[in-house]
Amino acid sequence: MLAQAAALAPLVIVDGQKTDGVDSLWREMRTRTGDLPCVTRAHGRLFWFESTAVDISDWTAPAPAPVDGGFVTQWGAFSADGPDRGSQMLAAALPGKLPSRMADLGAGWGYLARAVLERDGVKSIDLVEAEKLALDCARRNVTDPRAAFHWADVTRFKPDHLYDGIVSNPPFHVGRAADPALGRAFIVAAARMLAPSGQLWMVANRHLPYESSLRESFRSVEEIGGDGTFKLFHAIRPLKPTDKKPR
């Protein structure tokens, strides 16, 4: 991002949190520029530099590159060196026939969506992904005309129609910190987007407490596999707000 900014403007101003690594970025810039003005406050650091005074073109993100399985990925996207094990486990656990209208929430660069399209019965799949780098790769990885691509926040996305089935490997980090609330928001969003008889297939890290959220959002929840690191869920028949009992 800094390399891109330096190519677009004569002055670049960087504002970041120390917990997100801004200090290491600042130190690396100091090795290239010498003295680098900055302001630190409230666990954050602000610094700035003139782009004409330093060459950081070597930080430009490389072009999408091929990985195993005939995919291309982009440096900076999740699991850029190949499909992550959780997604591989979920893909292997999917039944041979899936519902006709499908979605992949947090689709990344398209690994799960392509696995869905290999199943019988699928007439369409929407790939919803907030990271544009990943979604651009997904467009190259999933060329099936049944696929549609949406650059959007899953928790706010409103589909044109309800889905019959959803697959998801939801993210669980905000910056460097694990945040189970993000995965819970994906579960709520999936229930909202599914038809009354819809189904969700989801993978999650085993230490994340998603079981209660799934049972609050679906009539039936089953753990269908996993290992010491991941767990796989199949949830059926979403509960709509009018179905939920008050606490």
Give per-residue pLDDT as tens, 187-196: 999 999 999 9
129 vs 209: which has the higher pLDDT: 129
What are the residue ranges spanned by the domains of the chain? 2-59, 65-238
pLDDT bracket for residue 177 (50, 70, 90): low
Question: Which tokens go with 110?
Answer: 């398209």
Tell me how far the alpha carbon of residue 64 is from its chain's centroid: 17
Question: Which tokens go with 33?
Answer: 């520029």
CA distance 84 to 115: 14
Please, what is the average pLDDT of the chain? 91
CA distance 191 to 2: 38
Beta carbons of 47 and 29 less than 8 angstroms apart: yes
CA distance 107 to 154: 10
pLDDT > 70: percent of the chain: 95
pLDDT bracket for residue 72 (50, 70, 90): confident
The model's pTM is 0.81
- Which is nearest to 94 in space by CA: 241, 232, 1? 232
Q: How do residues 75-118 score in pLDDT, each as one tens digit?
A: 777 787 888 999 999 999 999 999 999 999 999 999 999 999 99
Q: How do residues 107-142 score in pLDDT, each as one tens digit?
A: 999 999 999 999 999 999 999 999 998 999 999 999
- Which is nearest to 149 in space by CA: 130, 128, 179? 128
Tell me how far the alpha carbon of residue 232 is from its chain's centroid: 17
Reply yes or no on whether the pLDDT at 244 is more than 70. Answer: no
CATH superfamily of the domain spanning 65-238: Vaccinia Virus protein VP39 (3.40.50.150)
